[in-house]
Structure 1
Amino acid sequence: MQSLADLTSSSRLTTGDIPPPLVGATTTVVGHHVYVFGGRLVTTRRMTSDIYVLDLRTSIWTRIIESSAPPHAPKPRYFHSTNLWQEYLVIFGGMSTSRNTVDGLCVLNDVVLFHLRTHTWRIIEPGPDSGPHAPKPRYAHLSAVSGGNLIVVGGQDLTNNYVEQINAFDLQTLTWTSSRPCEKHCGAYRSVAMCAQFVSNEQLYPDDAGTEHEKLGSLDSLASPTISIASSSNIRPPNSRGRSFSIGTSGQSEPGSAGIVTHTTPTDTFFTQVSPRPIPPRLSNPIYIYSNYNFADVQRELQVLPPILGKEYPVEDISHKMGGSALPPGLRFPNGAVIGNWAVLGGTYLTNSSQTYSLWALDLNTYQWQRLDTGSVFASGSWNRGVLCYDLNAFVVFGNRERSLVEDYNHRQTNFDHITLIDLESFGIYQPPQLEHSPLAQSVGLSMLNDTGLADMEVLTLDGKRIPCCQRVLATRWPRFNEIFAEASTNNQLRLAASAQQALQQGGGRKGSGASLNSLPPMPLSPSFLASTNPRVLYLPHPYTVAHAFLQYLYTESLTAHPSQLIPQTLSALLVFSRVYGPENLGSLAADQLHRQLGMGTAAMTYEAAALTGRRGLQIRSLKVMILAKKSLMEQKRQGSESASSGGGGSRRGSEAVSVSAQTGGAEIAKGHSGVKADSTTTSRKQSLAPVAPMSMGMTPLGHVAREDSPRRGTEEGSLIDATRRMNI
């Protein structure tokens, strides 16, 4: 019996140079790679400065730096911290070995930069000229990068006393710039620091501020009515989710002027750019510090460090704002990250009755906690460390399926033999697509679409309506348009040649017929093709509302520029359209809006569109709502039956509150039940979530007229609807 929650996760066996079991190593995500640095070997207790890289697409480990290879590598260490900044891994502190102490141990306060392209080390040791803000040596501390600053919080010294200090290190100038007391005891055993890695739309366009040139973006280059086809080199690659920013140094240059280069390996095999949009130097995000302690009677604390803009900054305690129907239990060695409006938190949960890895999410708008039910994937085995991969929109947990969690926890051991990926989108958690242009620039785009004087072609819709538009906009913003244009031009040339040949053959037997290419009647302008001699009409096999919303997107690169774009039926059609014809960003925007509008009345339609486009997370979340609708319907029927048997007049409540749509195969709740949390009820049969061929939604190829007698829905789509009907939803 498989529950719906089990569909949110998938486990894999890793291969290659698998790291040995380690204590106190760090795991840092860079694109779709995970970098493991340092740690202490469990078997020999030897500390290392090794670097291993895991490709999350192939589940293959590669060791790129060995402790014994470079002559001047940083000191081996464990319980240090590692963060990503631009093209560097930024390592701070930790515990290392020393010949000058009785127990052979020491704690560090150096900063180490590892360049991901060149594999170059740069070490910054605090000295007499480090200033008054140099940090105390520590290990098991917290750290985060925000606005070009490395923020180090708390930790413990060599005698295991808490370090009550917060320090800020400027990564551009390589100097410690500020420090302040830390009122709370923060350490890796009980706390986690979380900061968003990407800039939000609100930060980019606060109250639509900025210069006119910044607002207009690239729209001013599209205002010309001249017909021209843009080069494909001007079009953003399909895997890019947003406009990139140039942050500080680039290429292989090093920040600052201090430090020592100790090892170089000229390769960029494992480096991947972070997407969607990094934070520009002028923008930074707050840092959330979550702590839990006294696990017999769990105490929870939440603090916020604002963006570091100067030497003085407050630390706000917002612990009293946290709430929810359930709160996280005591989590040992918690891991977490911020994605969108959520803070995702995971950690080891140990009691007499339960030993597992527990996953939770905090809504940063309402500060309400939500447990992420991942099914039975963590019910057995030893799962020890979690990281968030933005590229996959997944929380990745490392462990070993065969080992004991209690035994490994007692040794503080982290295993890397297996990984489990949790699909966060199935819980409605994801990084929202970022706007390419400000609201003012979007209004300019809509004005251009409405100005027929700027149009040089038309789009013909399924219901026979025509929409004037600019060919250059389509060619620049929609890469597939150039392919359609070239294909249609070739086809029309072949048709013209065939028609001419046929006419000459027919007139060749009649003397003086004078049949020639010039005497042929002009070809009618068919909406089925873009004629090479008169590229004026493009046929889109969709109703006017969908075609117009698509053009509005091309002119604004947004689905919030006009209310007509936000109709659920239109969004579903745009989602399927983007899967077949692109652009990819259109699909991301449509899926985002479908998530926001997901409810009892839209779940079945959204489920169908998600299945057709292979968006598994959206599909699972829609199915949760559909199951909730079924339970709600059954409960209302039960209440109606009880009311009828007691002589009451409430038997009509169920039929008034719920209407079942046979066309979509789902329940539409007409009244009430808004905001009810979907659960992970076990279904009576295993639900297949395999993607369905996109063309089954009646998608007539662009440039071809849809036959009126052709079925609206394909066989695969019908099977999906039949499946939901069989569930009696």
Structure 2
Amino acid sequence: MASLYPSTHHHLPPAFATPGIAPPNFYEQQSETSPKTDGAQEVDMEGNDGIGGVGIEGRGRGHGGVGLGEVIRSKGVRLACLVNASVTVCGEDSIYAFGGFDQYTDEVFNHVLKLDLKTYTWTLVDNYGDIPSVRMGHTTTYWRDGKLIIFGGENELRVYLNDIYIFDIATATWSQPVISGYPPCGRSRHAVVLHNDKLFVMGGVHHNPIAQPADYDADEEPEYNPQEVLDDICYLDLKTMTWSRSWKWVSRFDHQAWVREGKLWIFGGMGKEMDRTGELISLDLSHPVFARTEIKPTGYATRPGRSMTESTGPVRVLRSNRSYGPNSPRAMNTSRRQTPPPKPNLVPASTSSVRFLWGRDIPSEAHGTHFHHICGNTLLDFSTFATNLRSSHNDMGLSALDLREMTWRKLSDGSDILGGTSWRWHYLAVSPNGTIAYLLGCPVYNEDLGEGEEYLSDVLPIDLREFGISPTPPAGETPVPGMLGFDLASVFDSEHSGADFVIRALKDEAAEGDEYDTEGAWSRAHNTPDGEREDDDLPPEDVLGPPILCHKLILLARWGHFKRLYNSRMREYHRGRLYLPEPYTVVRAFCYYLYTDSIATGPYCPDISTVAGLLVLANLYAIDRLRTLCLSRLYNELDVESAAVVWERAGVAGEEMLRKKAAVFALTYWGRIVRTQGFRRLSRRSLIELCDEVDEEGRITAGEAEWESPRQMAGRGEDEDEEMM
């Protein structure tokens, strides 16, 4: 049987994460004068720009003043790179790390560390109560009321654990609840997910001595490993602290799990044959087998703690080379069961799976180190550089799977947001309902440490909203009868609806290319012999689209800019009219969105080019919801006809990541792009800028059909004539 432990620890399971702290050889206080790896930005505690350069090009628009793709050098203790620790985002301002083992000394730890996401400083947490034993390969889940739930893992003696610990963040106190039911077998490198106060546990690996052959000789087969990949699923009811029975499901470890729309989803990891899988599997949780059937009082009792001393005090156990006590896994595993657990049967709920065979944008699980996360209707795949696995620039990047259409799309290359081959990322931390993903790792080469030395020194925050991804994605769909948006749509831009405000915009053709000089036409109108006109704030009527009839009440409720303009009693307030120097189709689609909350394809939003125009207005007026809707559609629906327009509009809106994606798309399908109406309507300046996107050494080559010169064609014709003769 193949070993479950690779020869190098650089391949880290993405479900687990960083640190634990140890003796002086494990961490050291970072010196303020120590040299810094080029490319990592240090955080200035006074809120200034900090020192050093930005390692990856970004827009500076991200969370907490950190731009997209900016690597930040953490402060505080310098953490050696641990394997199979756990990392959990708690709220919006901290990440907690627990356990793991040192990849060089194999020492296992049970320390609690905190990363302050405002200052990016690591600190060792003084913790109290019933402190868990050292462990690795466990899972940590954020529960309600600021609690962390630790389950399973294995200790330094390779004993697999199935115990539960609860860490109260506010008091930094550990407790161990009294558990009933049938606990699952001890395991490591499993997956857990929290849903309706139930902690679902699935898969992982454990020790199976029965699998060891009778004639096994450790000297002849030193690499034999009696570990088994588990295929069960069960859950712990956190209201009553009762384990359910176990069912057989899918053999998997190092995978991840989420719950979405009443289904449990798993992705990634490896199976019994040690092969990396890209199969997506879901389980229906609405089946009655997962319903609560026992009537028990809620709440739970805890076991008395071994000690109330601080975990950083002199009596703290840093290694687990102690005799087994009341909390030890071996005593726990052998003394609690009164009757044997029921044999697992197949889970009765329906299971479905999707296997992705091939495609340009489908990420290859066999290349690089992958981290996965589900956010809303999107499964994200962060494919990062790995030294011990085959990986190239083409393999790295951020890919997204639309779970409604089951279609993969590559959102960004690894060199744009993940640092390319300059950084090695070990852990991904994302809260279930968060929009900021944090990658933790280190540079491939660190000047002050030397090549090969790895510390968890760098943090890369990625704002998922930059790609139109949110945990509760706004529908943005066409309103249907019975919805408020449908009723409001019936009075939009209608003469008999009591409209009391008018919005004007440019004709579509007046806003395209260089055919119309609206500024020149406007200046000539101001200098006419008639003198000042009543509508001197408008361009000439021949470049304006039809009036858009609106209602002040809806504009006031939905549009912050209009509310400020109206309350300040500006000229538009008195005239009951507002002019927006944007294409008529875009402005009308914008007003329709204010009424219906929809940018779905239809009469008011005819194509993706209109959505690109809406993105400009969303950024201009700081409407985050509209921006998220637009980015979601533009990343998912970018096509040949719209690529040139999306590239231009993304530049106006300041969306550099989208602009670069559109540029790469346009250059890839250049022959088709230049034949579209969108390309031919670009201004001269935009055409030149789009051509500048080509690399200095770039050249145009033939497409699928090999191009032949006239001389080659003539030569081929002569050869054919000779063959005929």
Aligned to 1:469: 550
**Contact residue 459 and residue 468 of structure 1 kept, 8 A:** yes
Return the letter of the residue paired with 1:154: G
Return the letter of the residue paired with 1:170: D
Aligned to 1:444: 487
Change (3 A) 1:378 1:470: closer
Give 1:455 shift. 3.3
Aligned to 1:682: none
**Contact residue 452 and residue 469 of structure 1 kept, 8 A:** no
Give 1:124 shift. 4.9
Pick one of 596, 606, 609 that aligns with 2:646.
606
Give 1:723 shift. 1.7
* Count of paired positions: 504
Pick one of 423, 426, 435 that aligns with 1:384.
426
C-alpha distance after superposition, 1:501-558 (max 9, x if no partner): xxxxxxxxxxxxxxxxxxxxxxxxxxx4312xxx744444445433332222122222
Aligned to 2:262: 284
Aligned to 1:94: 152
Aligned to 1:486: 567
Give 1:152 shift. 0.7
Aligned to 2:233: 166
1:187 paired with 2:253, answer yes
C-alpha distance after superposition, 1:577-616 (max 9, x if no partner): 2222243222222333333442222222212221222222
C-alpha distance after superposition, 1:243-278 (max 9, x if no partner): xxxxxxxxxxxxxxxxxxxxxxxxxxxxxxxxxxxx
Q: What SS class does the counterpart of residue 402 from structure 1 fall into?
A: coil
Change (3 A) 1:613 1:319: closer
Aligned to 1:141: 190
Give 1:416 shift. 1.6
Aligned to 1:681: none
Q: Distance in 1 between matches of 2:390 and 2:580?
A: 60
Alignment of 1:194-273 (within 5 A): 194-195=257-258
Give 1:337 shift. 1.2
**Contact residue 112 and residue 121 of structure 1 kept, 8 A:** no
Aligned to 1:45: 107
Give 1:442 shift. 1.9
1:401 paired with 2:434, answer no
Aligned to 2:682: 664
Alignment of 1:590-601 (within 5 A): 590-601=630-641
Return the letter of the residue paired with 1:125: P
Alignment of 1:613-652 (within 5 A): 613-630=653-670
Q: Distance in 2 between matches of 1:662 and 1:467?
A: 28
C-alpha distance after superposition, 1:117-142 (max 9, x if no partner): x3565745353xx124x322322211
Aligned to 1:314: 349
Change (3 A) 1:23 1:598: closer
**Contact residue 141 and residue 156 of structure 1 kept, 8 A:** yes
Q: Distance in 1 between matches of 2:99 and 2:451?
A: 15
Give 1:75 shift. 4.2
**Contact residue 553 and residue 559 of structure 1 kept, 8 A:** yes
Change (3 A) 1:333 1:77: farther
CA-based RMSD of the aligned residues comes to 4.4
**Contact residue 93 and residue 137 of structure 1 kept, 8 A:** no
1:109 paired with 2:162, answer yes
C-alpha distance after superposition, 1:347-373 (max 9, x if no partner): 775658769995574634565667774
Change (3 A) 1:425 1:607: farther
C-alpha distance after superposition, 1:613-638 (max 9, x if no partner): 222222121111221233657xxxxx
**Contact residue 322 and residue 367 of structure 1 kept, 8 A:** no
Give 1:150 shift. 1.9
**Contact residue 95 and residue 138 of structure 1 kept, 8 A:** yes
Give 1:37 shift. 2.0
Give 1:60 shift. 0.9
Q: What SS class does the counterpart of residue 379 from structure 1 fall into?
A: coil
Change (3 A) 1:611 1:172: farther
Q: TM-score, normalised on structure 2?
A: 0.59
Change (3 A) 1:30 1:296: closer
1:12 paired with 2:76, answer no
Return the letter of the residue paired with 2:633: Q
Q: Distance in 2 between matches of 1:170 and 1:418?
A: 37
C-alpha distance after superposition, 1:249-308 (max 9, x if no partner): xxxxxxxxxxxxxxxxxxxxxxxxxxxxxxxxxx53431233336899766654322335
Alignment of 1:473-552 (within 5 A): 473-487=554-568, 489=569, 528-531=571-574, 536-552=576-592
Aligned to 2:332: none
1:330 paired with 2:366, answer yes
Aligned to 1:151: 200
Pick one of 178, 181, 186 that aligns with 1:131.
181
Gaps of 5+ in 1: 98-102, 200-282, 492-527, 634-654, 666-717
Change (3 A) 1:343 1:145: farther
Give 1:180 shift. 0.8
Q: What SS class does the counterpart of residue 83 from structure 1 fall into?
A: strand
Change (3 A) 1:96 1:28: same
Q: What SS class does the counterpart of residue 601 from structure 1 fall into?
A: coil
Q: Distance in 1 between matches of 2:141 and 2:490?
A: 44
User: Greater CA deviation, 25-34 or 473-482?
Assistant: 25-34
1:579 paired with 2:619, answer yes
**Contact residue 73 and residue 457 of structure 2 kept, 8 A:** yes
Pick one of 439, 453, 460 that aligns with 2:503.
460
Aligned to 1:691: none
Q: What SS class does the counterpart of residue 490 from structure 2 fall into?
A: helix
Give 1:80 shift. 0.8
Change (3 A) 1:587 1:64: same
Q: What SS class does the counterpart of residue 291 from structure 1 fall into?
A: coil
Change (3 A) 1:145 1:436: farther
Q: What SS class does the counterpart of residue 611 from structure 1 fall into?
A: helix
Return the letter of the residue paired with 1:83: T
Change (3 A) 1:419 1:436: same
Change (3 A) 1:332 1:144: farther
Q: Distance in 1 between matches of 2:565 and 2:612?
A: 23
Taking only the aligned residue pairs, the percentage that are identical comes to 19
C-alpha distance after superposition, 1:440-490 (max 9, x if no partner): 332112124356665362123132744443322222222222210122x2x
Q: Distance in 2 between matches of 1:138 and 1:287?
A: 20
**Contact residue 428 and residue 621 of structure 1 kept, 8 A:** no
Q: What SS class does the counterpart of residue 461 from structure 1 fall into?
A: strand
Change (3 A) 1:348 1:181: farther
Aligned to 1:671: none
Q: Which protein has greater RCO, CA pairs closer than 8 Å, 6+ apart?
A: 1
C-alpha distance after superposition, 1:307-331 (max 9, x if no partner): 3543254363636554435662536
Aligned to 1:276: none
1:26 paired with 2:75, answer no
Give 1:179 shift. 2.5
